[in-house]
Amino acid sequence: MKRALKLSALAPVVLAAGLFASFAPAAEPAQQVSGEAVYKRWCTHCHSPGRGNPGTDSLQVKYGGKLPAVLLERSDLSPQAVAQFVRTGVLSMPPFRKTEVTDAELAAVSAYVAQKFPKP
Ligand code: HEC
């Protein structure tokens, strides 16, 4: 009788642990957003190296070779600057809405594009 009581007293603890274990993995996908994947989905077709890519062509004209026309070669763009351009758009680059690029994806892609930006 005593033993049975002890076991039933443990039940809520076991249940809680089980619940925690089943909820924990659900938090992971948000942290696993790949900036590279977001870039390939939304940016690369305009910003790849070579002629005929609207982003690269436009940045070639804008900076006249003083800065790299290829976005991923830039080291002067902070993650904040990239995020600002993505949400507001510029010339033929459309603004990206949160239904297209979520805030988590924006943070990931901005860090990816700004990977050469000096870290503080
Ligand atoms: C439809 C083509 C297109 C797509 C898609 C696109 N861009 Fe652009 N982007 C442009 C063009 C064109 C410019 C240059 C405008 C100019 O000359 O000022 C530009 C400019 C930028 C700039 C500003 C650079 C500067 O120094 O002025 C950033 C940052 C940028 N794009 C990031 C991105 C990111 C990140 C994505 C993906 C989320 C993306 N772009 C998707 C066309 C595009």
pLDDT in tens, the chain (120 residues): 555 556 566 555 555 555 455 555 554 555 689 999 999 999 999 999 999 999 999 999 999 999 999 999 999 999 999 999 999 999 999 999 999 999 999 999 999 999 999 987
- Residue 120 has a pLDDT of 77
Distance 95 CA to ligand 1 centre (A): 9
Closest atom of ligand 1 to CA, residue 45 = 5
Residue 91 near ligand 1, beta carbon < 6 Å: yes
Ligand 1 touching residue 43 (CB < 6 A): yes
* Ligand 1 atom nearest residue 39's Cα: 37
The confidence score (pLDDT) of residue 3 equals: 59
pTM here?
A: 0.81
* CA–centroid distance, residue 93 to ligand 1 (Å): 5
Write down the pLDDT at residue 44: 98
Q: Which atom of ligand 1 is nearest to the CA of 82?
A: 29
Is 115 within 8 Å of 41 (Cβ atoms)?
A: no
What pLDDT sits at residue 32?
82
Please write the tens of the pLDDT for every residue from 38-60: 999 999 999 999 999 999 999 99
Domains of the chain plus CATH, in order, are 34-120 (1.10.760.10)
Residues 108/38, Cβ–Cβ less than 8 Å? yes
What are the b/e assignments for 53-80, b being 16+ CB within 10 Å? bebbebbbeeeeeeebbbbbebeebebe
- pLDDT at residue number 11: 58
